[in-house]
Structure formats: C-alpha cells, structure tokens
Amino acid sequence: MKDMSPLVDMTRLHEAGSIRTQRPIYRNLLPPCNNACPAGEDIQAWLGFAQAGNYRKAWETLVRDNPMPAVHGRVCYHPCETACNRGDLDASVSVHAVERFLGDLAVKEDWCFVIEAAPTGKRVLVIGAGPAGLSAAYHLCRMGHAVEIHEAGPLAGGMMHFGIPAYRLPREDLMREIHRIEAMGVKIVLNHKVADVLAEMTAGRFDATFVAIGADVGKHVEIPARDAVRVLDAVSLLHDVETGDAPRLGRRVIIYGGGNTAMDAARTAKRLGAEEALIVYRRDRGHMPARAFEADKALEEGIKIKWLTTIKEIVGPELTVEVMELNADGRPEPTGRFETLTADAIILALGQSTDSGFLHHVPGIAFGPDGMLTVGPDMMTGHPGIFAGGDATAGERSVTISVGHGKHAARHINAWLHGTLYEAPKKSTIVSFDMLHLPVYSDADPRQQRSLAAAERISGFEEVVSGLNTKEARFEAQRCLSCGNCFECDNCFAACPETAIVKLGPTHGYRVAMDLCTGCAVCVDQCPCHAMEMIPEPLGASL
C-alpha cells in the first residue's frame, strides 16, 4: 500500500487551528530602561530610530517627554542604565551618551519644537525657571496653553545654572536648550521674585500656577566655634563661582558632607586653587548619598575623603573631629576618640531647604520639613489651581526627577483646566533579562566617552567628558536589545516550520496566519526580545 503520511501532513497544514491548544501573539511590553527613567522617556523607541540612523525622528521621539536632552545627556545619573538588561550580558547601553549626541545634533542642525495643539485660551503661571518649571512650561505650551515663567534670578536654569559646575554642564549648552523652549512661545520674566502668588495670578489673569522654586538654601549645623576660619555653605559657593564672585579659600579646604553637592564643592575648591580638599563624612562609602561615580571622579582629581568622621568643634583654623563607627543597623555612633584637623576654609554641604515662606498666607497649602510643599498625587497643593513639583516637594532630588515632575504636573494641570482628571495609562509587564532569548556570547563592547586627564581637569572649568561622534553613537544605539518590543529581526519568520508568520512590510511588523499555525511556540522561543508570547487557545475559536 502506498504511504499516505505526506498527504496527511499537508491536510493538517490547512486545518492547523483545530489541533492548537495555544497560540502566539505579538505584544509590546515595558523595557526596564523606560520604567526606570524619572522623566518617563520612551528610551527603547528613540534608540530604535537612532540605530537606524534616523536621528531627527529619534530626537523628536525623545523630546515628547524631555525637552533638554543635551543637558540630561551630561548631568542625569542615568538610572536607565542601572536597569538595562544588557548589563547582565556584557555592559549596559550608554543611553546618556546617545541622548547627549542627539541633543547636541539638534542644536547644530537648529531643530525646533512643533506645537500641534490649538490655543486653549488658558494662561498658566510657572514660578521658577529651573528644570521642573521649564519642563512644565514646555509641556503646557505644547498642549496649547499660554505659559509665563517668573524667575527671581538674573538667568533661567535654576540649579542647573547655579548649582551644577560648568565642568559638568557647559553654560552655552544649557542656554541653547532653554532658548529653544522660549522660541516655542514660553515667556520667561527674569529678576521677578513672586511675593504674593494670589495677587500675581489675579494681575496676570492666570488660570493655574505651578510652583517650581527648587531648594537653594543651604542647611547649617550647630557646631561650637570660636574665631573660626571662613565657613561657607556649598550652595552659596557654587552660586558665587557661577556669578564671578568666587571666594578665596586658601590652601587647605575641608568639605563637610557626603552627597553629590559635597563632591561638586570639593572639585570646585580644587579648581579655585586649593592644594588640598578633604571631604569629612560621618558614615562610610557604602552609605554615602553621593553617586559612586561622582565620588570616583573626585578621588581621581586628588580629593581626599575621611570616612566615619564628624566635626565637633572649630577653634580658629583647628577642627576637633570625632571618629565614628557603624552599629549593627549601619548607623554611625560616636567612639569617644578625637582627632584634630586644620583648614583655611570649611564648606558645609549638608543638604538644602526650600524658601517657601511667601506661600504661608495662601489658604490650604501645607508644608513639610525644610519648607517643602505638600502635594497630592495630582501634584496640586491644598489650594485649588496651585500645583507644585521639583525639589520644592518631598522625595529624591535630581534634574531628571524634576523634569519628570514638570511633565507629570503639566498633564494634571491640563486636565484641571479642562475640568477633568488625568489618569496615567496602566503599565505593561516589565521585561527582565531571563525573559529574553539571547546568544550566549557578545561582541559589542560599549563605546567609551573620552575624559580629560585629572591634571588637566583641575586647571579650570572646561568640560571633563566629551561626547560620541556619529559612528560611535549609532553603534551604541545598536547595542540596545529592544526588550519587549519587536524590532523586525525576522527570527520568528525564519523559524516557523509552517510558514505561518506573515511579514507586513518595514516598520509594520508581522501577523500570524492562524489557519496555518500549529501552536508549536518555535517563533516565541526564537524571539530574542520577548515581543511574542503564547496564550491559551480560546475555546472553540479554531473549530
């Protein structure tokens, strides 16, 4: 008898649905980089355009969420890279370096923001031209609202201008991105300190206000002192350096504190001529609030750090310090052992508070520690129509977090102006490294940004880290694994034994021909980025 098995197989091809118990679907999930970004950038999406060489589209996608990529590519602490799945394969994608490249390219090519929304007739006042205020103004303007920023200082930028040293953020790069926000229609009024917000709103016919005054008042600590050497706070030092009023610090400078501002103050002291800059901090390195790479940069430049030490008394140029030790809970405890240090100047870097006193008379507004404003999930204070965000509110502080606050507040302000409520879309499943199907080898080491030698750095305020060129930036973008999002690699198409995967053309992805699919899951197993999943076959769907 003739073998009829091939004929049986051919028949099954056309009745495949009847034998499936599960079916593959294409599904976009959430990459961990996107989830970790405080500004809410769609990082995977703009990296996808950059790896294809479509830099204009990459920039346009990026600035939907963050209007200052050249700034963030330089100063963001890039938690996206800490979360990056590629770090478990070889090394994380240098997202900040590609972001900086796009920001710098946009300046070079004079790319501009586009407003598509029609004017709403609503006016919004923003108090403070720092990162949160600029971000909120940008997003509100793109929504069609008229926005005016009232800034107490002589220049826009807030702590980006007066708190981050120029060796990390050159002022021309900052101001170019601020000018682009102005060019889209945001009005910035400088040297205008708001004293009465309610009167300001009435006079300017503003429908809502966003308070983004930052935290630019340095904290002090009660230390017994007699005929003490010059004592400054770090915030004032960094501000005075920026305005050209840098103080004479002397040969030996002690910085008291362990945060990022302490690292900036120490590195600035070196650039102002201090032969020795010593950071004194009451805990150990594992518990310091400063980012590890900020401490590394300081150490590279010859900054010394004395851990587990606290200042007890200052008499003239001498400081009495007590050695601390960590208890079982990791908290520092005094030991009763003392040492003597000498200094020509002491810089206090013990945190900042918010100058929010001008709001104390506004009904409903509540305050937390250090003058911080209390806001709800919608970023609104207890007074209707007055919102707040950035460093003036509780939580971790950074430029990127503040920019995220500005965007989040703009969405709530926009909804409030329209008499509705904003509800954030539900997040998709985050794709972890173990969900990917990757090769066991890697041959794509990250492109490295070049840095000035330590000896060159401390001679002035020239930018320390340089950017990537076009070839390097594109290569780095191509290292992205596109976690949870299809990038049309054709693995599923090539792997399907039933030719059930149908290509829909460039950028349009694929579909599954269910009359051919047997539910074998080979396509899902071959998808490197987990953009496909198997789901149970709906009862009766294929019969």
User: Please, which residues have CB within 8 angstroms of residue 62's CB and are 6 or more apart in sequence?
Assistant: 41, 42, 46, 69, 99, 102
pLDDT > 90 in the chain, percent: 83
Per-residue pLDDT of 115-157, as tens digits, reads 999 999 999 999 999 999 999 999 999 999 999 999 999 999 9
Two tokens, residue 325: 């030790």
Spatial distance between the Cα atoms of 16 and 20, rounded to a whole number of angstroms:
7
Check residue 539 and give its pLDDT. 66
Residue 384 is given by DSSP the state T
Q: How many CA atoms lie within 13 A of 101 on its CB side?
A: 27
CATH 1.10.1060.10 fits 32-111+427-478, yes or no: yes
The CA-CA-CA angle for residues 518, 519, 520, to 5°, reads 95
Two tokens, residue 122: 């609503």
pTM confidence score: 0.92
β-pair partners for 279: 255, 305
Stronger pLDDT, 364 or 10, i.e. the higher one: 364
Check residue 40 and give its pLDDT. 95
Per-residue pLDDT of 165-180, as tens digits, reads 999 999 999 999 999 9
Beta strands, E only, 205-302: 208-211, 217-218, 225-226, 230-233, 252-256, 276-280
In the predicted model, is pLDDT for residue 510 greater than 90?
yes
CATH 3.50.50.60 fits 219-351, yes or no: yes
Instruction: Write the single-letter amino acid at 502.
Output: V
In the predicted model, is pLDDT for residue 14 greater than 70?
no
Helix (H), strand (E) at residue 304: strand 304-306
Mean pLDDT, the chain, rounded, equals: 92
Q: Are 350 and 258 in contact (CB under 8 A)?
A: no
Tokens 């910085």 identify what position? 255
Check residue 15 and give its pLDDT. 52
In the predicted model, is pLDDT for residue 445 greater than 90?
no
Quickly state the pLDDT bin for 17 (edges 50, 70, 90).
low
Q: Locate the domains of the chain by residue range.
A: 5-28+486-536, 32-111+427-478, 123-217+353-417, 219-351
In the predicted model, is pLDDT for residue 56 greater than 80?
yes
Q: How many CA atoms lie within 13 A of 473 on its CB side?
A: 25
Spatial distance between the Cα atoms of 311 and 223, rounded to a whole number of angstroms:
7
Q: H-type helices in 84-233, by residue range? A: 95-109, 131-142, 159-162, 171-183, 197-204
Check residue 1 and give its pLDDT. 36
Spatial distance between the Cα atoms of 538 and 543, rounded to a whole number of angstroms:
10
Q: Are 531 and 34 in contact (CB under 8 A)?
A: no
Per-residue pLDDT of 213-255, as tens digits, reads 999 888 888 788 777 788 999 999 999 999 999 999 999 999 9
pLDDT > 70 in the chain, percent: 95
Per-residue pLDDT of 26-47, as tens digits, reads 999 999 999 999 999 999 999 9
In the predicted model, is pLDDT for residue 105 greater than 70?
yes
User: Please, which residues have CB within 8 angstroms of residue 248's CB and are 6 or more apart in sequence?
Assistant: none
In the predicted model, is pLDDT for residue 441 greater than 90?
no
Check residue 436 and give its pLDDT. 95
pLDDT mean over 210-215: 96
Q: Which fold has domain 123-217+353-417?
A: FAD/NAD(P)-binding domain (3.50.50)
pLDDT mean over 14-26: 75
Check residue 431 and give its pLDDT. 97
Greatest alpha-carbon span in the chain: 112
Check residue 11 and give its pLDDT. 40
In the predicted model, is pLDDT for residue 203 greater than 80?
yes
Per-residue pLDDT of 270-314, as tens digits, reads 999 999 999 999 999 988 999 999 999 999 999 999 999 999 999
Which backbone phi and psi does 231 adopt, to 5 degrees? -115, 125
In the predicted model, is pLDDT for residue 543 greater than 60?
no
In the predicted model, is pLDDT for residue 8 greater than 70?
no
**Helix 131-142 × helix 399-417 angle, to 10°:** 40
Closest by Cα among 309, 231, 305 to 263 = 305
Per-residue pLDDT of 356-380, as tens digits, reads 999 999 999 999 998 999 999 999 9
Per-residue pLDDT of 481-499, as tens digits, reads 999 999 999 999 999 999 9
Helix (H), strand (E) at residue 385: none
Task: DSSP for 324-357, please give it.
Answer: EEE-TTS-EEEEEEEEEEE-SEEEE---EE---G
By mean pLDDT, which of 162-171, 372-381, 445-454, 516-525 is the weakest?
445-454
Check residue 38 and give its pLDDT. 96
In CATH terms, are 123-217+353-417 and 219-351 the same topology?
yes
Check residue 227 and give its pLDDT. 74
CA 365 to chain centre: 28
Domain formed by 5-28+486-536, architecture: 2-Layer Sandwich (3.30)
Residue 146 is given by DSSP the state E
